[in-house]
Amino acid sequence: MAENNSAIRSAAVIGAGTMGRGIAYLLALNGIRTVLYNRNGNNLNQARDYIVSDLDRKIDNGKITLQKKGQILANIIFSDVFDAITDSDLVIETIAEDEQTKHEILAAIAATVKPEAIIATNTSSLSLNKLAAGVENNPRFIGLHFFNPAPLMKLIEIIPSYFTSRATSLRCQQLVTALGKQFVVCKATPGFIVNRMARPFYLEGFRLLEENVALAPQIDRALKAGGHFRMGPLELTDFIGQDINYQVSKQIWQDMQFDPRYTPGHLQRSLVDAGLLGRKNGRSFFASQPATPPNPTTEGDTPTSLHFYGEHALFDHLQQRALATWPALRVQRLPERPELGRFILVNNRLAIKITDGRTANLLAGLTALDTFVIDAALNYADTAYLVAAHNQHATETNKALFLTLLQTLIAQVEFIKDSPALIVARVLSSLINESVIMVESGVCSRADIDIAAVAGVNYADGIFAWLAQLGQKNVKSTLDNMAQLLHSTRYYPHYSLLNAARPELAVAP
Residues 249-303: pLDDT tens digits?
999 999 999 999 999 999 999 999 999 999 989 999 987 666 666 665 556 689 9
Task: Establish whether 295 is a catalytic residue.
Answer: no
Question: CA separation (Å) from 410 to 307, 312, 314, 371?
Answer: 20, 16, 11, 19
Euclidean distance between CA atoms 174 and 443, whole angstroms: 21
Please name which of 22, 459, 400, 399 lies closest in space to residue 201, comparing C-alpha atoms: 459
75, 88, 145, 284: the catalytic one is 145
Task: Provide the pLDDT confidence category of residue 125 given band limits of 50, 70 and 90.
Answer: confident
**E strand or H helix at 333, and its extent?**
strand 330-334
Task: Provide the pLDDT confidence category of residue 497 given band limits of 50, 70 and 90.
Answer: confident
Euclidean distance between CA atoms 253 and 256, whole angstroms: 5
75, 138, 157, 474: the catalytic one is 157
Q: How far is CA 41 from the centre of its chain?
A: 37
Euclidean distance between CA atoms 314 and 151, whole angstroms: 41
Model pLDDT for residues 198-217, shown as the tens digit of each residue: 999 999 999 999 999 999 99
10, 79, 169, 195: the catalytic one is 195
The pTM is what?
0.92
Task: Establish whether 145 is a catalytic residue.
Answer: yes
With contact defined as beta carbons under 8 Å apart, do 93 and 104 qualify?
Answer: no
124, 129, 165, 398: the catalytic one is 124
Question: % helix / strand / coil in the chain, to the nearest 5?
Answer: 45, 15, 40
Q: Where are the alpha helices (DSSP H) in 211-341?
A: 216-227, 233-240, 242-255, 266-274, 313-325
Task: Establish whether 195 is a catalytic residue.
Answer: yes
Model pLDDT for residues 217-258, shown as the tens digit of each residue: 999 999 999 999 999 999 999 999 999 999 999 999 999 999
Please name which of 193, 83, 101, 90 lies closest in space to residue 140, comparing C-alpha atoms: 90
Model pLDDT for residues 361-420, shown as the tens digit of each residue: 999 999 999 999 999 999 999 999 999 999 999 999 999 999 999 999 999 999 999 999
Euclidean distance between CA atoms 265 and 22, whole angstroms: 32
